[in-house]
Structure 1
Amino acid sequence: MAQRLRPVGPDFVDRAPVRLVFGREMTAAPELVYQALAEDVASIPEWFPAVASARAADGGRDVRLRGGIRFEETVLVAEKPALYSYRVDVTNTPGARAWVEKWRLVPAGGGTRIRVVFALDGTAAFRLGCRLAAPGVGRAFRQAAGALDRQLT
């Protein structure tokens, strides 16, 4: 069952009880990476295999993962081509209470250094589950970033 999460702002990234941070170097330029992440929403499943569908919605996105998890998101910060951050407003993820993702894109060596922070809060079981899932989430992020890089270059 879907539930509405606490409406936190961009600063939640700095104070969340659980922060998962991942990064990767890409050969594609930040402008191209930003466009794929923030503007070409419907193509996200082409490079992020965990995503079954994604579509732009009023002020945000609706995302469905394989396995049935869904998110209704609101864009918090969109600073092309350097920063894209959004809050999950509604999800069916059990135990979630607040969720913000911050994607930072920095020019690096002719390409992009991408860094994502998952800022999370929820029940004790949710927080523990997030920490235990971190290696798999990191692997999924790095694989998706690699697939996007191959698609863009």
Structure 2
Amino acid sequence: MARRLSPVELDFVETAPVRLVFTAELAAPPDAVYKALADDVEDWPSWFGAVVSATPTGGGAGRAVRLRGGTRFQETIMAREPGSRYAYRVDESNAPGVRAMLEEWRLAPTPEGTRVRWTMAVDGPAALRTVMRVLRPGVGRSFRDAMRGLERRLASRTAGR
């Protein structure tokens, strides 16, 4: 059953009790990476293996996301800064123990393309915080796999032009 989570603001990405932060370098330019993250929401399952479905809601103001294993999220988009930042808050989820959650994608140009920094900010009881820290290596692996998938997807789009 989905539960309502605490309606945190963007500063939660810096103050959350658990912050998992990962970075990757992509050969694609920031605008292309941003478009894949923020505009092509329904394509997420093609490059992010943990995502089963992602659907824009509220005319693009939110998203409905399902992960492998059955976890579901209803999200509100908190920041849309083309080419540099995309963030969303989880408003409802069936994930046990999660009280608040916000994810932020920061993009920065590099000479070769884009540096992507993904922060998952979470709050919950002590047991959940411990589990999140234990899961960090697996979440990081999922992120790295997703970034490789996204890079392949963006390269194939460029080659198809």
TM-score by length of 2: 0.93
Offset, 1:14:
1.0
Gaps of 5+ in 1: none
1 CA distance for matches of 2:151 and 2:45?
Answer: 14
Offset, 1:28:
0.6
Aligned residues: 153
Counterpart among 79, 82, 97 of residue 80 in structure 1: 82
Identity, in percent, stands at 54
What do residues 52-90 of structure 1 show as CA deviations (whole Å, max 9, x unaligned)? 001001111000001100000000010001000110000
Offset, 1:110:
2.9
2 CA distance for matches of 1:94 and 1:123?
Answer: 10
State the partner residue of 1:143.
145
RMSD: 0.6
State the partner residue of 1:108.
110
Match of 1:81, as an amino acid?
G
2 CA distance for matches of 1:47 and 1:53?
Answer: 11
Name the structure with the higher strand share: 1
SS in 2 for 1:89: strand
Match of 2:118, as an amino acid?
V
1 CA distance for matches of 2:30 and 2:144?
Answer: 16
Gaps of 5+ in 2: 156-161
Offset, 1:34:
0.5
